Amino acid sequence: MGTDKVRLRNRQKKIGILIGSLEAGGAQRMALWLFESLNRVGVETYLLSVDYNKDIMLPSTDSTKPSSLSERIIILSPFSVNLPTILKLFVTPYQWLRLQLYLYRQEFDCLISFMERANILNLCTFGTHNKVLSIRSHPDLYISKDMLKQKSIDFIYSHVLPRASSVVFNANEAKDAFVERYSVGNTICRTIYNYCPDKTVRELAEEKLPKTHAHLFEAPVLLAVGRLKPEKGFIQLIRAFREVAKSNNAVRLVILGEGPLRRPLENQIVSLNLSERVFLPGFFDNPMPWINSAHIFVLPSIWEGFPNALLEALTLGTAIISTDCPSGPREILSPGSRPSEKTKQVESIGPRMPGHLKNVAIFPLKMATRW
């Protein structure tokens, strides 16, 4: 028994990172960065994706031994990331079984999970590994989005949360709401903000814009970046931009990203006669030249976790307009402040903030959602 303990103590640590899918998104970027970084410093780390999707994010070319890293990316099931919630409930037991069998073979010391489905699967696994959850958004946000999903999350969390070794949040507002909602002990909860590699962001921003789209920046550009999903607020942004376009004949709106709302957004652009003013170029691996070239970066989200694109815009010194949505933007742009219930005006925080925050405005979410 003593020999086994010594061998276990001397064995190299092995870590698993579990995420719902590897589609382009902020949580996926953080999981991939953590996966690459741990492997780079010699910690044997595996990236496990619950769902399958065609356009997966892969290790960057500057990673150490990228081919070997790709071999450590495991797709646990053949099911699409875009399955409806009701079907995901049926396939989840199969995905749990695949995960459990893999855990038995690999003997991880720690399994770190990102986002709700992965967190729930992590909590329901058996073994001696530490279970670390990463909560990426405000816990109340699914109420209006998907009642079935919220009820399922509430039921499971209320029964298995005590099995978590640690719960990590990327914003204090989300942590406080989670602790209150699920009555979880504060001792296992902590906030770790998303990492933004300033030097890398600036180096990437020096790359040239794609030749096919450089002409868009011959006029002033409002730029938004994110997956084309309802919570990103792009429908409201385009509706609001129509008012801007009436008084400014030159300004353009560019929305960078892909997602299920592409067709509805394209139809909206046509119906508002904005085809020559609003552009959806798609997803690009490196959005930094776009952010760096924009006159204003716009974050129109209805809710957020801790928006990476906002950090990148700050790093590059691009002027910012953001909705005051839960959670993240205010914590980034005006740390320590709290929104007023009576706020009905755009709040310019530049005069009371140093240096890189001079050109920042926080927009009341209630005003934004009226458009």
Dump pLDDT digits (tens) for 10-30.
Answer: 457 899 999 988 877 778 888
Secondary structure class of 28 (helix, strand, coil):
helix
What value does the CA radius of gyration of the chain take, rounded to a whole number of Å?
22
Secondary structure class of 49 (helix, strand, coil):
strand
CB 19 within 8 A of CB 114: yes
pLDDT value at residue 68:
64
Buried b (16+ CB within 10 A) or exposed e, 241-280: bbeebeeeeebbbbbbbbbebeeebeebbeeeebeebbbb
pLDDT value at residue 263:
96
pLDDT value at residue 331:
85
Pairing state between β 347-348 and 360-363? antiparallel
Buried b (16+ CB within 10 A) or exposed e, 155-166: ebbeeebeebee
pLDDT value at residue 122:
94
The better pLDDT of the pair 314, 27 is held by 314
pLDDT for residue 220 is more than 60 = yes
Query: Is residue 146 very low, low, confident or very high in pLDDT (cuts 50, 70, 90)?
Result: low
User: With pLDDT > 70 as the criterion, what percentage of the chain qualifies?
Assistant: 79
pLDDT value at residue 85:
65
Give the Cα separation of 253 and 234 in Å (integer): 11
Peptide bond before residue 327 is cis, with ω within 30 degrees of 0: yes
Domain boundaries, the chain: 2-191, 198-369
Buried b (16+ CB within 10 A) or exposed e, 294-325: bebbbbbbbbbbbbbbbbbbbbbbbbbbbbbb
User: With pLDDT > 90 as the criterion, what percentage of the chain qualifies?
Assistant: 42
DSSP 169-233: ESSHHHHHHHHHHHT--GGGEEE-PPP--HHHHHHHHTSPPPTTTGGGGGS-EEEEES-SSGGG-
CB 299 within 8 A of CB 323: yes
The better pLDDT of the pair 50, 7 is held by 50
Dump pLDDT digits (tens) for 338-369.
Answer: 655 434 444 443 433 334 444 444 544 444 43
Dump pLDDT digits (tens) for 31-57.
Answer: 888 998 899 898 999 999 988 765 555
Over range 277-300, report the average pLDDT.
Answer: 94
pLDDT value at residue 201:
92
pLDDT value at residue 46:
94
Say if 2-191 and 198-369 have the same CATH topology. Answer: yes
Q: Considering the domain 198-369, what is its CATH architecture? A: 3-Layer(aba) Sandwich (3.40)
pLDDT for residue 204 is more than 70 = yes
Domain 2-191 coded CATH 3.60.110.10: no
* DSSP structure class, residue 333: H
Alpha-carbon dihedral sign for residues 26, 30, 31, 33? positive
